[in-house]
Copies of this chain bind each other. A is one copy, B any other.
Amino acid sequence: MLNRPNDQAFGDPAVREPALDVEEAHVDMANALRALAMDAVERAKSGHPGMPMGMADVATALFTRFMKVDPSRPNWADRDRFILSAGHGSMLLYAIHHLIGYADMGIDEIKRFRQLGAVTAGHPEYGHTFGVETTTGPLGQGLTTAVGMALAERMMNARFGDEIVDHHTYVIAGDGCLMEGISHEAIDLAGHLKLGKLIVLWDDNGISIDGRTTLSTSTDQLARFRASGWDVASVDGHAYHAVVDAIAEARRSDRPSLIACRTTIGFGAPTKAGTEGAHGAPLGATEIEGARQRLGWSHPPFEIPENVRAAWLGVATRGRAAREDWETRLAASGRRAEFEARIEGELPADFDEKLTAYKRELSETRPNVASRKASEMVLGIINAATDLTLGGSADLTHSNLTLTKGLGSVAPGDYAGRYVHYGIREHAMSAVMNGLALHGGFIPYGGTFLVFSDYARGGIRLSALMGQRVVYVFTHDSIGLGEDGPTHQPVEHLAMLRATPNLHVFRPADAVETLEAWQLALHAEGTPSVLALSRQNLPTFRTEHTDENLTGYGAYVARKPKRRRDVTLLATGSEVEIAFRAADMLALRDVDAAVVSMPCWELFETQSADYRRQVLGTAPRVAVEAAARLGWDRWIGERGRFVGMNGFGASAPAPELYQHFGITPAGVVDAVCDILTCA
């Protein structure tokens, strides 16, 4: 039999929660996780046994001694967050959830691991399974999302105090998480902001899919984290008490902590332990049999002895007591309603009224401003009307215009502010915003140039997959940014974002549409939004006020034809002005054009077929957008024409670029006259 995990002398971990009676039980408790993991993967004929088996001791230490969760109230606001950043080890999470009694995680679901409709998806999916705090799988996302959660905790604490908000964020991260670039952005930001309640347990097993990690990395991770202001420690990840001590020590720090847990991947497997063979495939019957012997685990698959079950249920008992204490404190605080509305993210009752009043003002004053500037003006109203919003930018504040008066900066040790300087870290910004939204209490928005949505793709996709109310303020949304040239000019990005499921991509054409887009974004509780905004000024064409949010239709007729509709010009954003001017020119040539503004394709797609037919019309259609054509054929049809970009941009003043690429009223007229007879 394999040496049992080494019991070191038990120190005083200064754990506030009462310790479970696990002095004897912890080895079996960990082995229960190992057995469930290897057996579920075997039954599914697919999955990753190595990480759960390697990290079972660490997870047991964390949950038995520290984790504050109440499985009967998975969404309790002051629970500790546990993030399995190495999401492929999902069976570790599911096994724990099964044993501590989450209602959805019966043994039948464990047996249905990775089957259609089971809560035991291949990777943990937020919203699909109780207690899964965030969707993980793409490596590094969980770690970075956890930074957002830990930041949200400090910010909510700054607003509600220790009695109501005081919880930890624990992460299990693998070598992959620490090799991905996003991990640098995460640890730099977390260290800078002194997120002391963030504790990362690194599964330091020295193995990646290709083989030993020494094939591709030599970084001293402890030194690296230390360089970014973290506390660091290294322990034998199979030594329960050493792990307990390290976590206790980490909890005492006012800096984020990394604990390197030296483990053996696939711990217990007789021939595959310590090798990449244990990582991502079923172990096979013989290996599993051998593992049972080595671990001293004689129980049949999916059977857990009562004493082990009872020991694990202690985690739930302790959590329930903590939650009940907290409910009492919350009730006594006199701030229950305020707190709950905040956590739910409820906009104030007069929110829309204020926005609509400002919309009327915009229709009257008709500002000729860039839509990024309009966004700033609207944010001034929004940020005064609600304090749920939390601004930020990836170091382009004065370009994105995301900062409004009176929002203080979030700073190390001072979390009262409402503006995050994310640094030059687009990817982390997206994932941190996911964490802020998931935690509750904030509606995060963050800015960068539209072209750098490239760098944030990984996080944007998870915003959409998890249905989080996150707002991406992507300015400088076309060749209209001018001289910075093709590296800074988005071309394919609108298509990339429009192709992403459950993402609203707004490209407003004037100040009124910008306001409407913001209004829709803030109300879309299950959908992230992108606001693609211009650098250059745009006239206000929505000069007739409507209480109704026309952008909510996704597309609408912005200029009616005079008599008959000879052609329909479709446009978004800064090109709506071009369509209007083309319509004027066409009128001189006896062509009667309607102009349709299409600020949000996704919302237009949800309208009735009748409405869509009415907007698109039966006349030929010409679209104009300073971007790639991909996707436009749906709207212009086979007879249609597209005026836009055929390749990358160039460096020059914006007006010259529009001329150079033929994205002009005259270009639109030419396209129309190519399919119609023009006078």
Give the Cβ gap from A505 to chain B, nearest Cβ, in Å.
11
Which B residues lie within 8 Å of A137 (CB)?
Answer: 484-485, 487-488
**B485, B487, B498, B502: which contacts A648 (Cβ < 8 A)?**
B502
Per the 8 Å Cβ criterion, residues 341-379 of A in contact with B are: none
Binary per-residue interface labels of chain A (199-218) against chain B in the complex, 1 for a CB within 8 Å, 0 otherwise: 00000000011110101111
State which of A29-37, A67-75, A434-442, A652-660 sits at the interface with chain B: A652-660
**B398, B487, B645: which contacts A87 (Cβ < 8 A)?**
B487
- Cβ A650 vs Cβ B483 within 8 A: no
Cα of A455 to Cα of B650 in the assembled complex, Å:
25
Most B CB within 10 A of own CB, among A211, A228, A399, A422: A228
Give the Cβ gap from A4 to chain B, nearest Cβ, in Å.
32
Give the Cβ gap from A510 to chain B, nearest Cβ, in Å.
25
Q: Is A566 an interface residue (CB 8 A)?
A: no
Most B CB within 10 A of own CB, among A455, A464, A482: A455
**B185, B395, B633: which contacts A634 (Cβ < 8 A)?**
B633
Which B residues lie within 8 Å of A486 (CB)?
Answer: 125, 135, 465
Tally of this chain's copies: 2
Cα of A210 to Cα of B411 in the assembled complex, Å:
14
**Contacts A218-B191, A483-B47: A181 and B183 contacting too (C-beta < 8 A)?**
yes
State which of A20-28, A219-227, A240-248 sits at the interface with chain B: A219-227
Q: Is A95 an interface residue (CB 8 A)?
A: no
- Cβ A218 vs Cβ B412 within 8 A: yes
User: Could you say which interface size class chain A belongs to?
Assistant: 35 or more
Cα of A179 to Cα of B217 in the assembled complex, Å:
20
State which of A287-295, A312-320, A424-432, A662-670 sits at the interface with chain B: A424-432
Q: Is A501 an interface residue (CB 8 A)?
A: yes
Which B residues lie within 8 Å of A464 (CB)?
Answer: 648
Show the binding face of A for B, using Cβ within 8 Å.
44, 46-47, 87-88, 114-118, 121-123, 125, 135-139, 175-176, 179-185, 188-189, 191-192, 208-211, 213, 215-221, 223-224, 226-229, 393, 395-399, 409, 412, 421-428, 451-452, 454-455, 457-458, 461-462, 464-465, 482-488, 491-492, 495-496, 498-502, 628-631, 633-634, 637-638, 645-648, 650-653, 656-657, 660
- Cβ B487 vs Cβ A136 within 8 A: yes
Cα of A116 to Cα of B653 in the assembled complex, Å:
8
Other than A181-B428, A630-B630, give 19 A-B pairs with Cβ distance below 8 A.
A46-B653, A114-B653, A115-B651, A116-B656, A122-B483, A123-B487, A138-B451, A181-B427, A183-B184, A208-B424, A213-B423, A216-B421, A216-B424, A220-B228, A223-B223, A455-B458, A465-B648, A501-B647, A502-B648
Cα of A452 to Cα of B461 in the assembled complex, Å:
11
**B87, B118, B488, B496: which contacts A495 (Cβ < 8 A)?**
B496
Which B residues lie within 8 Å of A427 (CB)?
Answer: 181
**Contacts A219-B227, A502-B648: A425 and B179 contacting too (C-beta < 8 A)?**
yes
When C-beta atoms are compared, the residue in chain B nearest to A650 turns out to be: B116
- Cβ B181 vs Cβ A139 within 8 A: no
Give the Cβ gap from A126 to chain B, nearest Cβ, in Å.
10
- Cβ A652 vs Cβ B115 within 8 A: yes
Give the Cβ gap from A148 to chain B, nearest Cβ, in Å.
15
- Cβ B209 vs Cβ A188 within 8 A: no
**Contacts A116-B660, A189-B216, A492-B500: A424 and B180 contacting too (C-beta < 8 A)?**
yes
Give the Cβ gap from A409 to chain B, nearest Cβ, in Å.
7
Which B residues lie within 8 Å of A125 (CB)?
Answer: 485-487, 651
**B180, B185, B218: which contacts A228 (Cβ < 8 A)?**
B218
Which B residues lie within 8 Å of A633 (CB)?
Answer: 631, 633-634
- Cβ A218 vs Cβ B229 within 8 A: yes
When C-beta atoms are compared, the residue in chain B nearest to A488 turns out to be: B137
